[in-house]
Amino acid sequence: MRSAGVGSVAVAIGLGIALAVMVPAAAQVKPPADFTFEQGKDSPGPVTFSHEKHKEKAEKCTVCHTKVFQMKKGKTGPLTMAAMNEGKLCGACHDGKTAFTVKDQANCSRCHVKK
């Protein structure tokens, strides 16, 4: 009888460990769908932002939100190349060290897609 009790405890512990490992993976937030910023008057093309692609590099949402960007689209203010060149907005990471730089015109087409 005693070995059946020990076996039950072992099974319960095993299930507890399995649940502890599986729950965080299942509870991860799905990134929002891609969205496109309208083309500004001096812009070479609209920019489509992919949370999925950026999540590959920045593991947690808090890397960008709310330190660099507000959580709700449109609340951060205008996205300008001038601000990015000063290391703000996208330029906070796209500085040539963390990610490709926004200051090199050869990189424009990496974000801006001509219509």
Res 26: pLDDT: 47
Read off the CATH number of the domain in which 69 is found: 3.90.10.10
Same domain, residue pair 102 and 46: yes
Same domain, residue pair 18 and 74: no
Res 38: pLDDT: 85
Side-chain-side CA neighbours of residue 18 (13 Å):
6
Do residues 47 and 111 make contact, with C-beta atoms less than 8 angstroms apart?
yes
Same domain, residue pair 5 and 41: no
Distance CA 41, CA 90 (A): 19
Q: State the DSSP code for 63.
A: G
Q: pLDDT category, 108, cuts 50, 70, 90? A: very high
Q: pLDDT category, 73, cuts 50, 70, 90? A: confident
Mean pLDDT, range 11-38, rounded to an integer: 69
Q: pLDDT category, 86, cuts 50, 70, 90? A: very high
Q: Provide the residue range defining the domain that includes 51.
A: 31-110
Q: Which amino acid is at 84?
A: M
